[in-house]
Amino acid sequence: MRGSEGQTQAAWVPWSIWTSLPKNRRESCGKDDGVRRILLLDEDAELLETEEVLAEGFVTAVRAPLTRFKVRDALLRLREMDSLSADLRRKTEEIALERELLVRKSNHLSFLNRVLSRATATLDPVTILVKARSDLRYLLPITALSAAFWTRAEHGPGLSAELYMPCLLSPPESDEWQQALIEAAEQKAGAKVSEYRQICLTPERKHKPVLAPSAGRLLVLPLSVGGENFGCLALMTVKNLRLAKDQVQTLNACVNHLALALRNALLYHQVKIQADRDGLTKIGNRRSFESRLADEAVRHGRYDQPLSLILVDLDHFKLVNDIHGHPAGDEVLRDMAALLGEGLRSSDYPARYGGEEFAVILPHTSREQAALLAERLRQRVAERVFRAGASKAGLNITVSVGVASLASGGTSQDLVLLADQALYVAKNNGRNRVVLAGPRSLLQPGEAEARALDESLRLESEDRGEAEGQDKRLGVGREAGLGTVQDRAVM
């Protein structure tokens, strides 16, 4: 009795036959939607209500005797029922399709909202990239993520790039990632990379070895804001990856959100560097130095770890500006800042204290260790030939150095005061020397000590011929472990 697709079959069932069927048979027939049933009533049968006919699963009821008109009317009702059923099925399919599209759009918006909210929650590029690496795995089978950002180099026509790469790479894999990012940056920016630095992305909790880019498929996506490219994102996936259209659209939207967040983070980082760094030497400035020293002093008082400070002053620097010009003096200051950073730990903090004065904060460094470092610095400066603009001969410059360590109960201001007084002694005892401030129970000299120090310095300036005897009065001597090249005054 079942019809083929697109056709409807009708069963004409007499009421007497229907009522004689067992209840379970009638329920089974009622569940069969493949056949429409029309009820036939005998001439003398009692008239049934429409609700009762429909409740039994019949489309309509026709009373005998059957006529052409009655049959055609029943078939028309059947056709109307089929037409309504087809419309309902079509509407149901459309609603199901719309629901599926809405679910996919909702998932798309939820994913983008997650990416955007996590990316804008911080202004650290490393944190943004690490979170993006985690989020993008909901969209693609990513095995590694890296990025490159570039700006125009300060000196020369090339690019200055920052390469954010996975950690714990072997040398060959690191070189391959580096080469891939540099090539991508040069292709996107249309210029050569003249200088770059690598930044390590935080590894995952369950660290897995990161393979070289050639081991998979590398998707390089440009990062741009306002039509200007400033970087690119490199996603490493499996080689046979195929992306659907909606995946491509979601990925592009995600990268656009990340580009805006990364641009803001890089601008903030750049402004912060400009605020914390000296514009000429690119090391810490006076404000950042004081802030860092105050933090280290608090840490020193909390954990009772040694803290030392070195103050360096270029001897007779005014003559460099007067004889060779201020551009030559700027070159000397830049070279001095670069030399100052050589051999320092990542926890040490060099800064330009002011003019031709420099400072180095040395956490977890004792007084004797700081003195050794200061002496090595003095020797390197004395042996260095500094550039002086167009001058081919170069310049030989010396420095005077004051060293001090913070004792219990002292503050950052006390440490700076004592190191500055040690530097003052060094400059007034012939320059080109290291003066090591002696320990005190509380590093806060009183007025009597200050007057005694000023008096000894005045006597020194009056009689240079008695320098050796004056050195003895100030406590100049060779301390064990402080080197043998230059005498030092110990306050």
Name the band, by pLDDT with cuts 50, 70 and 90, for residue 184.
very high
pLDDT, tens digit (0-9, with 9 covering 90-100), for 432-449 = 999 998 654 333 333 433
Mean pLDDT of 281-307: 90
pLDDT at position 155: 62
Whether 470 has a pLDDT exceeding 90, the answer reads no
Whether 211 has a pLDDT exceeding 90, the answer reads no
Three-class HEC string of the chain: CCCCCCCCEEEEEEHHHHHHCCHHHHHHHHCCCCEEEEEEECCCCCCCCHHHHHHCCCCEEEECCCCHHHHHHHHHHHHHHHHHHHHHHHHHHHHHHHHHHHHHHHHHHHHHHHHHHHHCCCCCHHHHHHHHHHHHCCCCCCCEEEEEEEEECCCCCCEEEEEEECCCCCHHHHHHHHHHHHHHHHHHHCCCEEEEEEEECCCCCCCCCCCCHHHCEEEEEEEEECCEEEEEEEEEECCCCCCCHHHHHHHHHHHHHHHHHHHHHHHHHHHHHHHHECCCCCCECHHHHHHHHHHHHHHHHHHCCCEEEEEEEECCHHHHHHHHCHHHHHHHHHHHHHHHHCCCCCCCEEEEEECCEEEEEEECCCHHHHHHHHHHHHHHHHHCEEEECCEEEEEECCEEEEEEECCCCCCHHHHHHHHHHHHHHHHHCCCCCEEECCCCCCCCCCHHHHHHHHHHHHHHHHCHHHHHHHHHHHCEECCCCCCCCCCEEEC
Question: 282 — alpha (psi -120 to 50), left (phi > 0) or beta?
Answer: left
pLDDT at position 391: 55
Question: 246 — alpha (psi -120 to 50), left (phi > 0) or beta?
Answer: alpha
Lowest mean pLDDT, pick from 285-299, 331-345, 452-466: 452-466
- Structure-model confidence comparison of residues 487 and 76, the more confident one: 76
CA atoms of 25 and 71, how far apart (whole Å): 26
Which overall architecture, per CATH, does domain 125-276 show?
2-Layer Sandwich (3.30)
Cβ-in-10-Å burial (0-12, 13-18, 19+) of 215 comes to middle
Give CB contacts under 8 A, 24+ apart, made by 289-292: 289/349, 289/351, 289/353, 289/359, 289/361, 290/412, 292/349, 292/351, 292/361
Whether 477 has a pLDDT exceeding 60, the answer reads no
Lowest mean pLDDT, pick from 10-14, 26-30, 268-272, 471-475: 471-475
pLDDT at position 485: 33
CATH fold for the domain made of 286-489: Alpha-Beta Plaits (3.30.70)
pLDDT, tens digit (0-9, with 9 covering 90-100), for 188-205 = 988 899 888 899 888 877
Mean pLDDT of 357-374: 93
pLDDT at position 4: 45
Tokens of 208: 């897995």
Q: Considering only CA atoms, which of 212, 213, 232, 211 is closest in space to residue 223?
A: 232
Whether 475 has a pLDDT exceeding 70, the answer reads no
pLDDT, tens digit (0-9, with 9 covering 90-100), for 381-435 = 999 888 776 655 678 899 999 999 998 888 899 999 999 999 999 999 889 999 9
CA atoms of 337 and 284, how far apart (whole Å): 10
CA atoms of 172 and 153, how far apart (whole Å): 27
Name the band, by pLDDT with cuts 50, 70 and 90, for residue 365.
very high
Q: Considering only CA atoms, which of 453, 300, 325 is closest in space to residue 387?
A: 325
Whether 227 has a pLDDT exceeding 50, the answer reads yes
- Which value, in Å, is the radius of gyration of the alpha carbons in the chain? 43
pLDDT, tens digit (0-9, with 9 covering 90-100), for 368-379 = 999 999 999 999
Q: Return mean pLDDT, the chain.
A: 82
pLDDT at position 452: 39
CA atoms of 283 and 349, how far apart (whole Å): 9
Other C-beta atoms lying within 10 Å of the C-beta of residue 371: 26
Whether 482 has a pLDDT exceeding 60, the answer reads no
Whether 481 has a pLDDT exceeding 80, the answer reads no
CA atoms of 442 and 438, how far apart (whole Å): 11
Instruction: Please calculate the CA angle 302-307-311 and round it to the nearest 5 degrees.
Output: 145
Winning range, highest mean pLDDT, from 23-32, 57-66, 227-236? 227-236
Tokens of 230: 């400033």
Instruction: Please calculate the CA angle 487-488-491 and round it to the nearest 5 degrees.
Output: 150
CA atoms of 346 and 308, how far apart (whole Å): 15
With tokens 């990012």, the residue in question is: 181
- Structure-model confidence comparison of residues 239 and 441, the more confident one: 239
Q: Are strands 144-152 and 434-436 parallel, antiparallel or unpaired?
A: unpaired
Whether 457 has a pLDDT exceeding 50, the answer reads no
CA distances from 288 to 176, 291, 361 (A): 37, 5, 11
pTM summary value: 0.58
Name the band, by pLDDT with cuts 50, 70 and 90, for residue 132.
very high
> What angle in degrees, to the nearest 10, is found between the helix axes of 68-119 and 125-136?
150
pLDDT, tens digit (0-9, with 9 covering 90-100), for 141-169 = 888 999 999 988 766 678 889 999 988 88
Q: Where are the domains of the chain?
A: 9-88, 125-276, 286-489
Whether 483 has a pLDDT exceeding 70, the answer reads no
Whether 322 has a pLDDT exceeding 90, the answer reads no
Cβ-in-10-Å burial (0-12, 13-18, 19+) of 55 comes to exposed
Lowest mean pLDDT, pick from 33-37, 102-106, 330-334: 33-37
Mean pLDDT of 256-276: 88
